[in-house]
Amino acid sequence: MTTKTNIGSALTALRTGNHLTIQEAAKHLKLTPSSYSNYEHGRSYPDIRLIFRTAVYYHINIEFLIFLVCIDLASFENLKNEELFRLFTYGHTFSWDFFELFERYNSLSDVYKHAASTFLEAASICNQQI
């Protein structure tokens, strides 16, 4: 029995959101349907080539896909959330004061607010798929 991974959930959401079968998605990403199914179901992890192809094909941010793989691997490596967070913030630490967080968000330009909202929507879709 396998456990659904964050990256597997994202691949499923991207595929189904674009009304593709596993066979169609696999063909576009230069994989066998069996290999693609293994990624979706958490039986294996995509390499950087597949992450790159997926980002290009679906027109999404490659960092988001890499982040999902890292979240999955961090749980297997017993990496604490704080350590994972540091990997993506270049070692900087931030206050988790929510009022400060909202103030910073409100000071962002509309372009960055949209990017943050898109990321949160994608994370929510992945979370619902699990």
pLDDT number for residue 79: 77
| Residues 50-96: tens digit of each pLDDT | 999 999 999 998 988 988 888 888 887 887 777 777 777 665 555 55
Whether the Cβ atoms of residue 72 and residue 130 lie closer than 8 Å to each other: no
Q: Rounded to an integer, what distance in angstroms lies between the CA atom of residue 59 and that of residue 19? A: 15
Task: Round the average pLDDT of the chain to a whole number and report it.
Answer: 82
pTM (global) more than 0.75: no
Enumerate domains of the chain plus CATH numbers. Answer: 6-129 (1.10.260.40)
pLDDT number for residue 18: 94
| Residues 7-47: tens digit of each pLDDT | 999 999 999 999 999 999 999 999 999 999 999 999 999 99
